[in-house]
Amino acid sequence: MRRLRQLWYAVIYLVWLAWQVPVQSMKLARDVLTPGLEVAPSIIEFPLRARSTFETAAIESSITITPGTLTLGIAEATPDHPRSLFVHFLYAHTHEGAIAELEAMETRLLRATRGCSEEGIEES
C-alpha cells in the first residue's frame, strides 16, 4: 500500500511540475514582452529537508527546470546547519514568499519520494 501511495504522489508531483513550467514560462514571457519589468532578482539560501542524494538532485533539477529559478550551488550539512541550496529567483518579491514557494515544492517532492503525508515528511 505504501508503494502505491508513493506512486500516486509521484504522479501528482510530475503533473504539478509539468504544469509549473508553462505557467512560469508565460509569466516570464509576459514580463519580457510588456513595458516595464516586474523582476525582483534575489539569491536565497534554502535549508533542505531532503536527506538522500536522490532527493537533493530531484529538488535541484525541479528548481532549475522551472523558468525564473536556478540552483546555483549547494552547501553541505554541518553539525549545526542542514544541507542548503543557493537559488537564484527572478521574482523574489519577498524572502518569505520565495522560501514558501521552495518549501511547497520540496514538500510535494518528499511526498513522492517517501510516500507519506505532509505530517510524516518531518518524521521520516
pLDDT-based confidence at 20, cuts 50/70/90? very high
pLDDT value at residue 117: 61
Q: Is 34 a residue whose pLDDT tops 80?
A: yes
pLDDT value at residue 116: 74
Question: Which residues make beta-bridge pairs with 45?
Answer: 86
pLDDT value at residue 123: 44
Question: Which residues make beta-bridge pairs with 46?
Answer: 85
Q: Are 46 and 85 in contact (CB under 8 A)?
A: yes
Q: Is 16 a residue whose pLDDT tops 90?
A: yes
DSSP track, 98-118: HHHHHHHHHHHHHHHHH---H
CA 84 to chain CA centroid, Å, is 12
pLDDT value at residue 122: 55
Query: Which three cell numbers mark 112?
Result: 513522492
What's this model's pTM, rounded to 2 decimal places? Answer: 0.87
Residue 39 and residue 58: Cα distance in Å, rounded? 26
Instruction: List pLDDT tens digits, range 70-124.
Output: 999 999 999 999 999 999 999 998 999 999 999 999 999 999 998 876 555 654 4
Domain boundaries, the chain: 2-123
Q: Which residue has the higher pLDDT, 23 or 116?
A: 23
Q: Listing from the earlier edge strand, what are the strands of the sheet with 69-75?
A: 42-47, 84-89, 69-75
Whole-number percent of the chain with pLDDT over 70? 94
Query: Which three cell numbers mark 85?
Result: 541550496
